[in-house]
A and B are shown apart, each in its own frame.
Chain A
Amino acid sequence: MIRVLLADDEAMIRSALAALLRLEPDIEVIAECADGEQAVTEALRLHPDVCLLDLEMPGLDGVQVAEKLNRAIATRCVVVTRHARPGVLRRALASGVAGFLPKSRGADEVAAVIRRVAAGARYVDPEIAADALSDERSPLTDRELDVLRAGRRGETTGQIARALSLAPGTVRNHISVVLGKLSVETRQQAVLMAEERGWI
């Protein structure tokens, strides 16, 4: 039997999927969680073989849950999403997610992916991979992205400079180059744009 943990903040979808998966002879749903924090707690307690995590959850999202679990226990994580935002597949793969598929797949397909992943394979849905390949490339350098990242919560230039061990003037130069490249007027707009496109 493959022991599966389910996490989705939408109760209807979660219970329907759990009911459908329970119909599979070799799959046992051992926990249903309503958010990321609960999923982490339950997974650490129950040690499931496979965790099926919704990407869009309040608090911790599916990829963050997978990242935490992969560091702590031997479990395989599959992330499902309604809409894969740019950059999210890259982030998921980097945090060791074993499977990634859209929510629109039927329960039989989900069950097949759970089996593959439990057997040690990786599964990336072709649709999601195609989307990820047509992501817009970031025109910014790594350093410029660092500056945006360090200032994404509205930190001052001085705080960014300290965080990155740079001179404040260098930080200001980076920011003005970023504003030019993205043709936006404020750092906040640049941060929003970079977050929207999955660059940071």
Chain B
Amino acid sequence: MSSIPPSSVAEPALGARQLARGITATWWYTVTAVLFIELMLVVAWAGIAAAEDVSGGVVLFVGIGGVVWCASTLMLLVHYRRRVDSGPEAMWRSLAVPFLVAAAYGLTAGALVSSWQLAAMPIVQFFVLLSWPRGVRVRVVLAATLILAALAVVDSAAGLNGGLPWWIPVVYGALLPGMSVSSLWWWDVLVTLDRARASEAKLAATQERLRVATDVHDLQGHHLQVVALQLELAERLLPIDADAGMEQLRAARVSVDEARQGTRDLATRFRSVPLGDELANARDLLVAAGLEVEAAIDADADAAPASALGPVIRETTTNVLRHGAGRRARLLLTRTADSWRYEIGNDTVPGAELEHDGSGLDGVRRRIEEAHGTLEVRREADEFVVVVTVPAETEEGR
């Protein structure tokens, strides 16, 4: 399970990160599109105000107020993106500011320029940018467009003639709801696609689990049958030949053990985590065990040879958990020019017998030597240290 190179484990995570970055970029693209249309309209209305009013104060209000209004719709858009998991009362509270800004700007600017459409536009845009349920939004947009178009007609009947091509804000004003919503719709499509990708990954994992379940079923069925036969044989043999009967009982126990081991192997076959995560888990376990842990793990730990170092980390961490006197431990993984150095040390009780040199470390030593590395075990007065050095994998060696 540790023979999988770390890169193959790290890849999907990296891909997901890139995708998340892409989604954020698209989000800003959507925001920019909506804000750009709004700002265009503000500039156009400021132009009309300039033609209508010579004093300039109105122009200033329409322009600067417009920028404030655009900024407040940014709050709406952020709310649209994070529309999850908020109760209605909290939702209305966070929407109150954009609504009040829109109403204040619209009514004042509308009254100053004496345009019904300008008065209504910010409030209408507020409702358009809310996250409506599917189906409702189409109706909201249609209604919004109709209202703005109707008010445009009223305005032109009242003779709003700024000298400028005044139809520009009017036409674009009527188009505003549709254009904003199509941007939001595009954003929704992208989010749905992203979710589909996530559920696809989950589906693959579920299918794999289903396959493992079938394998486990087959394996256990087979072993149960063997055990049943061995027990039946023991039952028959015990009265005639006690030794042979006992032999069958022992064989049955071995079969049970095999079944258990086989099940475990199946379950752990696909479990593999990057080396950095394994070391982080090791540190967490040692801390949980009440040790004071000094850890320095190279940021590039996932690139270290996992097939050689993984078993060492497992063996030595278990040893520290089991045998350490339990006050301090040291966990280091450092990269030198052409090799990786792993060091784990813990304090020992002075005079206590050392149980470290079990067969476990011998197995680890073999693996390390196969990887052309070295394993050094140091026993000091109050400390036990294992240092492992393995050559770094070259690019072509991977």
Contact = CB atoms under 8 A, between A and B. Distances in A.
Interface of A: 89-91, 93-94, 96, 104, 121-124, 126-127, 129-137, 156-158, 168-169, 172-173, 175-176, 179-180, 183, 185-187
B264 A134 contact: no
A91 B288 contact: yes
B84 interface: yes
Contacts of A127: 264
A89 B273 CA distance: 17
Contact of A168 (B84, B90, B314): B90
Q: What are the 5 A-B residue pairs with the smallest beta carbon separation, nearest first?
A: A183-B198, A129-B318, A93-B288, A94-B288, A93-B289
Given A176-B84, A183-B194, 13 more contacts: A121-B323, A127-B264, A129-B321, A132-B285, A133-B273, A137-B273, A137-B277, A137-B280, A137-B281, A157-B85, A157-B86, A175-B85, A186-B84
A133 B322 contact: no
Report the interface size class on chain B. 35 or more
Interface in B264-283: 264, 268, 271-273, 277-278, 280-282
Contacts of B313: 133
A132 B257 CA distance: 22
Contacts of A179: 84-85
A166 to B, nearest CB: 13
A130 B318 CA distance: 8
B285 A133 contact: yes
B87 A122 contact: no
Contact of B284 (A90, A96, A130): A90
Contact of A158 (B20, B90, B278, B290): B90
A176 B85 contact: yes
Given A93-B321, A122-B326, A124-B322, A158 B87 contact: yes
Contacts, number: 101
A141 B118 CA distance: 46
B260 interface: yes
Contacts of A175: 84-85
B353 to A, nearest CB: 11
Given A133-B281, A183-B195, A169 B94 contact: yes
A135 B318 contact: no
A180 B257 CA distance: 43
Contacts of A123: 322
B255 to A, nearest CB: 13
Contact of A134 (B257, B272, B284, B321): B272
B398 interface: no
21 contacts: A90-B285, A93-B285, A122-B323, A122-B326, A124-B322, A126-B314, A127-B264, A129-B314, A129-B317, A133-B273, A133-B313, A134-B268, A134-B272, A134-B281, A135-B273, A156-B87, A157-B85, A157-B87, A172-B84, A176-B81, A176-B84
Interface of B: 1, 20, 81-82, 84-87, 90, 94, 194-195, 198, 257, 260, 264, 268, 271-273, 277-278, 280-282, 284-285, 288-290, 313-315, 317-318, 321-323, 326, 360
B319 to A, nearest CB: 9
A185 B285 contact: no
* Main SS at interface, chain B: helix
A175 B314 CA distance: 34
Contacts of B257: 104
A186 B195 CA distance: 12
Given A136-B277, A156-B87, A173-B82, A131 B288 contact: no
A131 B265 CA distance: 12
Contacts of B360: 126
Contact of B318 (A126, A185, A187): A126
B349 to A, nearest CB: 10
Contacts of A135: 273, 277, 281
B398 to A, nearest CB: 21
Given A91-B288, A94-B288, A133 B282 contact: yes
A21 B284 CA distance: 34
A161 B84 CA distance: 16
A93 B286 CA distance: 8
B90 A172 contact: yes
Given A93-B321, A124-B318, A126-B318, A176 B82 contact: yes
A130 B321 CA distance: 12
A186 B285 CA distance: 30
B2 to A, nearest CB: 9
B20 A180 contact: yes
Contacts of A104: 257, 260
B317 A172 contact: no
B90 A133 contact: no
B188 to A, nearest CB: 14
B326 to A, nearest CB: 7
Contact of B321 (A96, A124, A131, A156): A124
Contacts of A94: 288-290
Contacts of B198: 183
A185 B81 CA distance: 13
A150 to B, nearest CB: 13
